[in-house]
């Protein structure tokens, strides 16, 4: 038997009958790998069979001392994912909900992202995509740029406007065969129906850890 290992169980998770000690160890192990939300840690404890009362006690103490801070998690997530991947406020909201962040904290976090900065990021993405597709048919270039923004959560109307601006800056020949006075990529914007943004109940999240 290796040093520190009990007759039953593993050295990483005590089996002394103290559920709170076990809950603390599970949470600390998860938090050493990456930040976690309270919901993610709660689910991990449930999956490990920790009693609900013990889990809630430990999670409450961790929140009191700042080891769990969903608001800080959400702010860091928004800043990191927007600047590294160019994700929109809407997509960031969806991701945070999947991590179990409260709707009010999601709103507060995404509100730190200036709408003008969001548009500037979308414009940069369009310019990069259009630059990488020079020489291809205008319609194909436009659709690829629109698809990129759609995958990152930007509304079709914004995508169309930025694509149009980029093509017009390139010169008359860049948009040959395209009617820039129509909006072929626009679809009804259902952001108002998004349960993340409205606070309405949505599908149950999977807080996989």
* Distance in angstroms (rounded) separating the CA atoms of residues 126 and 9: 55
* Distance in angstroms (rounded) separating the CA atoms of residues 199 and 194: 8
pTM for the full model? Answer: 0.75
Q: Are 187 and 155 in contact (CB under 8 A)?
A: no
Q: Distance between alpha carbon 13 and the CA centroid of its chain, in Å?
A: 31
For residue 188, count other CB atoms closer than 10 A to its CB.
8
Q: What is the pLDDT of residue 167?
A: 87
Q: What is the pLDDT of residue 139?
A: 86
Angle of the 138-151 helix axis to the 115-132 helix axis, nearest 10: 140
Give average pLDDT by consecutive 10-residue segment, the chain, 209 residues.
40 65 96 96 96 96 96 96 95 97 96 94 96 89 93 93 89 66 49 40 38
Q: What is the pLDDT of residue 204?
A: 39
For residue 162, count other CB atoms closer than 10 A to its CB.
22
Q: What is the pLDDT of residue 168?
A: 85
């Amino acid at each position: 038997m290796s040093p520190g290992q009990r007759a039953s169980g593993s050295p990483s998770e005590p089996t002394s009958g103290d559920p709170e000690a076990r809950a603390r160890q599970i949470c600390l192990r998860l938090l050493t790998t990456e930040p976690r939300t309270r919901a993610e840690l709660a689910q991990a404890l449930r999956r490990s069979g920790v009693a609900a009362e013990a889990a809630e006690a430990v999670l409450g103490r961790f929140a009191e001392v700042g080891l769990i801070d969903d608001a800080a998690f959400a702010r860091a997530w928004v800043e990191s994912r927007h600047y590294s991947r160019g994700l929109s406020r809407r997509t960031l909201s969806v991701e945070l909900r999947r991590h179990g962040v409260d709707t009010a904290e999601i709103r507060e976090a995404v509100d730190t992202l200036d709408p003008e900065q969001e548009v500037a990021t979308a414009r940069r993405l369009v310019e990069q995509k259009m630059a990488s597709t020079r020489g291809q048919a205008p319609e194909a270039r436009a659709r690829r740029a629109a698809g990129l923004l759609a995958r990152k959560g930007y509304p079709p109307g914004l995508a169309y406007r930025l694509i149009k601006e980029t093509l017009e800056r390139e010169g008359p020949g860049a948009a040959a065969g395209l009617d820039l006075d129509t909006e072929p990529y626009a679809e009804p914007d259902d952001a108002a129906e998004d349960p993340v943004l409205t606070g309405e109940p949505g599908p149950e999240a999977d807080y996989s850890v």
